[in-house]
């Protein structure tokens, strides 16, 4: 298996993912968990967010580089028809209009210097004038850079990073609000200025003076004197400039740019359709018998939703209740509703989201795939998957090889999982036992889990209150990485009153990073899933005082069950894992020691390695000391019983084969659509999915299954021809955690030493070093899939 993950020397020079252009174009990319699609992971992490990103800064984060007071020239200098007239010839109305424009721009929060992004005051009305004024300023900065550029760091990379960062910060602010505080007005404003933003990004990415300057650095006799991080930056800039079309002739470049514009538009429309289709579905239930089996938390949430929809007297006990397709609501029905017809109705609605009417994503998917293929051909690649792999650790062949290895190790176990469900449901005289379908598997899996391990996930909720979970998570981070995390609410503006803000300090007490945490679902305005996005990257160039680096800022967003009544948010174990997962992404961003802004934190890390820290952190949910420090009953303070912990541990590999195949299906159909699929050919996208499902699903998908129409990861995120990254990084993360197992999880001294090494390598080095080299520096050898198969209980199957 080693050779699967080996970084070929031939590719190494090309592999520093994320150039400036990619960084900006990735404003739709997010680092996310893979449990929904997307997310979500779970949803994407984006690498960065748009994951996809960064936003702005905190006291020690402010940068004088971007303290421009953005005053536009008067109308006379911007309006050709007035340019030659003296001021006295302007009418009073024109003068008043000019003054009002200046005044509006002068107060536009997007154009102000701020320590942290003004999430609380930015509104849709600020987007059009603010983004256009910013682009005008940055266009001038780019022209100046091209006029004065030299193949040196101060004359090339420093001014370039400033341009890139400012746009990333401001656009990231706006795009983040669209994800967490969506409105028709905000959508409209973003859609209007988005083509202008993409046009500037293309102009920047295709700048020949910048491209030639990077090539000159590469060919300079001083090349060997550069640090490894700077070499990675230069190599990635050159590679990504080529992928951005810098070498294309005029006609081809024009076509390439039109494709990029259209892909950006289609991606936004795809995501909006998924969000709208999810919000549109509501099932009002007035008879409690219809929802028999739903736990109290689900009933409370459904009643809260009903209240928000105008049913003022709705209660958890007496209803009415509204069921939605939002994650917590959907999963509760699938896992606990005894009403099989209700499960079927909700399941069919979920797998056909955004596949009909005005919100149908089918044609959008075809257009996206067609345009991606055209883009690949323009760049002289055979397919889009090859374009994607150009900035990843893997190749198409190696990714397919890994997926097949894991598929074959998972198949027999998944078949046995289904037999176990059939036998168990028969023993319970279930009418559907002889014809189990998709809307039955989650329900009977939960019943079998309860029977086999005597664990009821809903009964565990009282032990996982959000405040205790966060305390335990922060204590773990202190033990492993020597950091202290403290509340800093009020220091930074937030977009919702439920959002928390935190400060991270090192062992000396000095702040080293900050982050936001938005934990609860808000179906009416917030997209589903979970993700981490960069708000601001660590950077020496953007230092406020010219000495210490600018500090990183991140935000974590989840969609877990909100507090109900006087109860705090009581989490499922899956929601617990999700919080640990997203925090792993955030740690890699925040604990970086890399001062080169373009490869600091999560920037510049090959996409198929970026899930390593997130999946690594999930392992600690099963670590006894960690879990017991978290699992305290919210009312009594009682610790989770030891026998229950042992049952959780035993249940960890429950249906591992089936869950593995689910991810392999997503990854495989993604690769097939971006390699073999011919847009407009005889085979539809759904035919491809069914073909893949024959080898990855024990129960074939429904003929009307349109899960692809909601697959945001690859059509609206950064995972196109890259969803395999979850499994690829799972190999890395499981092997990384096995280092702690080898050291002895009960040996606190050894765990702290190993945690320090993990921080100084995986978390500290960012994109300044090739990920395989970083892994070897931490682990002492190349990765092996054995720990992953062992953790999943599939090692014996693989050996056989």
Q: What amino acid positions are annotated as catalytic residues?
A: 582
CA distance 570 to 463: 8
CA distance 580 to 586: 10
CA distance 689 to 672: 9
Which residues, listed in sequence order, are joined to residue 487 by a DSSP beta bridge? 502
Phi first, then psi: give them for residue 461, nearest 5 degrees.
-50, -45
β-strand 553-560 against 511-520: which pairing, if any? Answer: parallel
How remote is the C-alpha of 336 from its chain's centroid?
29
Element (H, E) at 517: strand 511-520
| CA distance readout (Å), 689 to 30, 233, 602 | 24, 38, 32
CB 448 within 8 A of CB 349: no
Element (H, E) at 511: strand 511-520
Number of alpha helices (DSSP H) and beta strands (DSSP E) in the chain: 32, 8
Between vectors from CA 503 to CA 562 and to CA 610, what angle results, nearest 5°? 75
CA distance 272 to 266: 10
Helix then strand then coil, % of the chain, to nearest 5? 60, 5, 35
CB 703 within 8 A of CB 757: no
Phi first, then psi: give them for residue 286, nearest 5 degrees.
-115, -20
Which residues, listed in sequence order, are joined to residue 534 by a DSSP beta bridge? 554
CB 337 within 8 A of CB 293: yes
CA distance 192 to 132: 10
* CA nearest neighbour of 300 among 444, 518, 461: 461
β-strand 553-560 against 531-536: which pairing, if any? Answer: antiparallel
Phi first, then psi: give them for residue 62, nearest 5 degrees.
-60, 145
CA distance 676 to 687: 12
DSSP secondary structure letters along 362-400: HHHHHHHHHHHHHHHHHTT-SSHHHHHHTTSSS-HHHHH
* CA nearest neighbour of 39 among 604, 601, 723, 704: 723
β-strand 511-520 against 484-487: which pairing, if any? Answer: unpaired
Cβ partners under 8 Å of residue 724, min gap 6: 394, 399, 402, 403, 608, 667, 670, 671
Helices 208-218 and 228-243, axial angle in degrees (round to 10): 140
CB 529 within 8 A of CB 513: no
Residue 315 has, within 13 A of its CA and on its CB side, a CA count of: 3
Helices 124-148 and 208-218, axial angle in degrees (round to 10): 50
* CA nearest neighbour of 581 among 626, 632, 530: 530
Q: Sheet holding 511-520: strands in order across? A: 31-32, 531-536, 553-560, 511-520, 500-505, 484-487
* CA nearest neighbour of 365 among 662, 674, 665: 674
Q: Could you write out the three-class secondary structure of 728-762?
A: HHHHHHHHHHHHHHHHCCCCHHHHHHHHHHHHHHH
């Amino acid at each position: 298996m080693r050779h699967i993950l080996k970084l070929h020397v031939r590719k190494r020079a090309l592999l520093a993912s994320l150039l400036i252009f990619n960084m900006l174009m990735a404003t739709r990319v997010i680092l996310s968990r893979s449990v929904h699609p997307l997310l979500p992971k779970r949803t994407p992490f984006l690498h960065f967010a748009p994951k996809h990103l960064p936003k702005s800064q905190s006291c020690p984060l402010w940068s004088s580089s971007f303290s421009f007071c953005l005053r536009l020239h008067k109308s006379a200098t911007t309006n050709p028809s007035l340019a030659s007239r003296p001021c006295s010839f302007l009418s009073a109305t024109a003068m008043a209009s000019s003054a009002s424009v200046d005044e509006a721009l002068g107060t536009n929060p997007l154009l102000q210097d701020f320590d942290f992004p003004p999430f609380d005051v930015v509104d849709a009305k600020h987007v059009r004038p603010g983004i256009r004024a910013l682009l005008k300023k940055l266009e001038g900065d780019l022209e100046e850079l091209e006029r004065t550029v030299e193949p040196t760091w101060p004359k090339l990379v420093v001014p370039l990073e400033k341009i890139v960062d400012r746009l990333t910060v401001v656009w990231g602010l706006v795009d983040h609000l669209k994800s967490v505080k969506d409105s028709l007005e905000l959508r409209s404003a973003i859609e209007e200025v988005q083509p202008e933003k993409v046009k500037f990004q293309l102009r920047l990415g295709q700048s020949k003076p910048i491209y030639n300057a990077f090539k000159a650095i590469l060919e300079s006799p001083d090349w060997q004197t550069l640090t490894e991080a700077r070499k990675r930056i230069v190599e990635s800039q050159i590679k990504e400039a080529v992928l951005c079309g810098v070498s294309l002739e005029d006609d081809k470049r024009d076509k390439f740019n039109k494709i990029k514009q259209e892909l950006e538009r289609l991606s936004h429309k795809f995501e909006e359709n998924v969000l709208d289709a999810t919000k549109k579905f509501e099932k009002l239930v007035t008879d409690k018998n219809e929802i028999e089996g739903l736990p109290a938390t689900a009933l409370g949430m459904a009643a809260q939703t009903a209240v928000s929809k105008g049913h003022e007297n709705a209660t958890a006990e007496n209803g009415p209740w509204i069921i939605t397709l939002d994650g917590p609501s959907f999963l509760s029905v699938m896992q606990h509703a005894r009403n099989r017809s209700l499960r079927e109705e909700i399941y069919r609605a979920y797998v056909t989201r955004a596949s009909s009417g005005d919100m149908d994503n089918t044609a959008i998917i075809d257009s996206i795939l067609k345009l991606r293929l055209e883009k690949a051909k323009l760049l002289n690649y055979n397919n889009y998957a090859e374009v994607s792999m150009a900035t990843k650790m893997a190749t198409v062949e190696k990714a397919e090889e890994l997926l097949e290895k894991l598929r074959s190790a998972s198949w027999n176990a998944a078949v046995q999982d289904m037999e176990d469900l059939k036998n168990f449901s028969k023993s319970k005289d279930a009418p559907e036992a002889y014809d189990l379908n998709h809307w039955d598997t989650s329900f009977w899996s939960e019943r079998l889990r309860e029977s086999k391990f005597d664990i009821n996930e809903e009964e565990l909720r009282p032990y996982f209150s959000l405040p205790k979970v966060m305390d335990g998570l922060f204590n773990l981070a202190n033990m492993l990485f020597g950091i202290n995390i403290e509340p800093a609410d009020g220091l930074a503006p937030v977009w919702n009153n439920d959002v928390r803000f935190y400060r991270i300090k090192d062992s000396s007490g000095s702040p080293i990073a900050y982050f936001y945490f938005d934990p609860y679902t808000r179906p009416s305005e917030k997209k589903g899933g979970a993700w981490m996005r960069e708000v601001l990257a660590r950077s020496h160039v953007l230092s406020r005082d010219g000495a210490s680096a600018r500090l990183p800022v991140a935000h974590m967003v989840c969609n877990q069950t909100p507090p109900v009544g006087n109860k705090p948010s009581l989490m499922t174990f899956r929601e617990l894992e999700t919080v640990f997962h997203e925090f792993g992404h955030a740690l890699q961003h925040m604990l970086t020691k890399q001062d080169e802004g373009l490869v600091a934190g999560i920037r510049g890390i090959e996409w198929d390695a970026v899930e390593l820290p997130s999946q690594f952190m999930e392992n600690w949910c099963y670590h006894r000391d960690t879990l017991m420090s978290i699992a305290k009953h919210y009312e009594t303070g009682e610790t989770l019983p030891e026998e229950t912990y042992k049952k959780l541990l035993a249940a960890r590999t429950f249906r591992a084969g089936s869950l593995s195949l689910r991810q392999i299906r997503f990854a495989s159909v993604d690769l097939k659509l971006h390699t073999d699929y011919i847009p407009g050919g005889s085979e539809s996208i759904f035919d491809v999915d069914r073909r893949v499902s024959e080898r990855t699903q024990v129960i074939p998908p429904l003929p009307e299954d349109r899960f692809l129409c909601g697959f945001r990861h690859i059509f609206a995120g950064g995972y196109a021809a890259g969803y395999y990254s979850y499994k690829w990084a799972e190999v890395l993360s499981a092997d990384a955690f096995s280092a702690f197992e080898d050291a002895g999880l009960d040996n606190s001294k050894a765990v702290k030493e190993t945690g320090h090494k993990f921080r100084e390598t995986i978390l500290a080095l960012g994109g300044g070093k090739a990920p395989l080299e970083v892994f070897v520096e931490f682990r002492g050898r190349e990765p092996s899939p054995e720990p992953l198969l062992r953790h999943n209980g599939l090692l014996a199957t693989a050996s056989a």
